[in-house]
Amino acid sequence: MTKIFCIANQKGGVGKTTTTVNLAAALAKLGQRVLLVDLDPQGNATMGSGVDKHSLPSTVYHVLLGLKSIQSAIVKPPEVGYSLLAANRDLAGAEIELVDLERREYRLKEALAQVQTHYDYVLIDCPPSLSMLTLNGLCSAQGVIIPMQCEYFALEGLSDLVNTIRSLHANLNPDLEVICLLRVMFDMRITLQQQVSDQLKAHFGDKVFNSVIPRNVRLAEAPSYGLPGVIYDPSSRGANAYIEFAEELLTRNY
Ligand code: ADP
Ligand code: MG
C-alpha cells in the first residue's frame, strides 16, 4: 500500500524542503517509487528538484482547483529519480479560491487517489503555516514527519503542531499520526542541542528517529544546482545521513 507522508512544521527554515527532496531522492535510490508533492507557493522543492517553477503549464494549483488532471501535471525531472507535482506562486492564490469549493480540505487527497497506486511513497512538502494548503496535505496523509532543530523554542512550537494533528485526527483524518521527529541541522558539540534532544526523546520516545541529520554545507549548496544533496554529493555527511534516515523509515516499515 502507498505510504503518504507530510513533511510539516509551521516554522519556516527548519529543514522541511531539504528533508523532503533528500528523503525522496534517498528512497528512490533504495528502489522505491516516489512522488514528491510541493505544496509551498515558494516552490523550493520544485527548484530543488531541477524544475524551473516559472515555466510550468500545470502545477499542484491547477490540480487543487480541478483545472487540470493530476496525471497531466506530474513531471519526471531527469536526474532526481522521483516524480514531482510542482508548485509556484500561483499556489498562493489557492488559499482563497479553495474557500468556496466543496470538500476543500480533501482536494489533494481526492487527486492523489487517482495516481497513488503508481508509487510506494508520496511525500508532501508543506508550507510554513497551518493553512488550507497544509490542511490539504495533512488530510491526504497517514503520517507526519516533523523536521526540527534542537533549539530552545523548538518544543514550544511543536505543541501547536501536535495539537493541530490531534484535532485533525479526531475530526477530518482518523488515519493521521506523527510518525517521526527528525533532528536536523544537528551539531553534537552544542550542549543545548543535546539537552533539547534528550527532552524530545523523553516526550516522544521512539517517534524520535535514531538517524540525525548534521549541519552540512553540501546539503545547503545542492539546491542552487537543482539537485537534492543526496545526488549532488552522495559521499557527503549530509547525503549519508539522509540515506540512513530513508533506511530507518523502510526498516520501521513506515
Ligand atoms: P524549510 O523548508 O523548513 O523552510 P529548508 O529546507 O528550506 O527549510 O532549509 C532552510 C535553510 O537551511 C536552507 O537554506 C537550507 O539549504 C538550509 N539547510 C537545511 N538543512 C540543512 C542542513 N542539514 N545543513 C545545512 N544547511 C541546511
Ligand atoms: Mg520549504
Give domain 3-251's CATH superfamily: P-loop containing nucleotide triphosphate hydrolases (3.40.50.300)
Compute the distance between CA of residue 60 and CA of residue 67 in angstroms, rounded to an integer.
Answer: 10
39/102: higher pLDDT: 39
> Which atom of ligand 1 is closest in space to residue 238's alpha carbon?
23
The answer to whether the beta carbons of residues 117 and 2 sit under 8 Å apart is yes
Q: Which residues line ligand 1 (CB under 6 A)?
A: 12-18, 44, 128, 184-185, 213, 215-216, 219-220, 223, 238
Average pLDDT taken over every residue of the chain: 95
Å from CA of 45 to ligand 2 middle? 7
pLDDT of residue 253: 85
Least Cα distance to 85 among 62, 106, 117 occurs for 62
Residue nearest to atom 17 of ligand 1 (CA): 220
Residue nearest to atom 27 of ligand 1 (CA): 220
Å from CA of 15 to ligand 1 middle? 4
pLDDT beyond 90 at 247: yes
pLDDT of residue 165: 94
The full set of domain ranges for the chain reads 3-251
Å from CA of 216 to ligand 1 middle? 10
pLDDT digits (tens, 9 = 90+) for 119-174: 999 999 999 988 899 999 999 999 999 999 999 888 888 888 999 999 999 999 99
> Which atom of ligand 1 is closest in space to residue 215's alpha carbon?
24
Q: How confident is the model at residue 254 (pLDDT cuts 50, 70, 90)?
A: confident
Å from CA of 126 to ligand 2 middle? 7
Residue nearest to atom 9 of ligand 1 (CA): 15
pLDDT beyond 90 at 53: yes
pLDDT beyond 90 at 239: yes
pLDDT of residue 194: 92
pLDDT digits (tens, 9 = 90+) for 216-232: 999 999 999 999 999 99
pLDDT digits (tens, 9 = 90+) for 55-82: 899 999 999 999 999 999 999 999 999 9
Instruction: Tell me the sheet residues that pair with 208.
Output: 181
> Which atom of ligand 1 is closest in space to residue 147's alpha carbon?
3
- All three cell numbers of 5: 507522508
pLDDT of residue 154: 80
Instruction: Tell me the sheet residues that pair with 125.
Output: 7, 38
For the entire predicted model, the pTM comes to: 0.97
Compute the distance between CA of residue 178 and CA of residue 145 in angstroms, rounded to an integer.
Answer: 6
Is this prediction's ipTM beyond 0.90? yes
How is 57-122 classified by DSSP, letter by letter?
A: S--HHHHHTTSS-HHHHEE--TTTSSEEE---THHHHHHHHGGGSTTGGGHHHHHHTTTGGG-SEE
**For residue 209, what is the DSSP state?**
E
Instruction: Tell me the sheet residues that pair with 186.
Output: 214
Residue nearest to atom 4 of ligand 1 (CA): 13
Å from CA of 217 to ligand 1 middle? 10
Report the pLDDT averaged over residues 36-42. 98
Q: Which residue has the cell 476543500?
A: 104
pLDDT of residue 152: 82
Q: Give the environment of ion ligand 2: residues with CB less than 5 A.
A: 16-17, 44
A 10 A CB-CB count for 206 gives 10
Å from CA of 18 to ligand 1 middle? 5
pLDDT beyond 90 at 6: yes
Least confident stretch, 84-93, 119-128, 142-151, 187-196: 187-196
- All three cell numbers of 241: 545521513
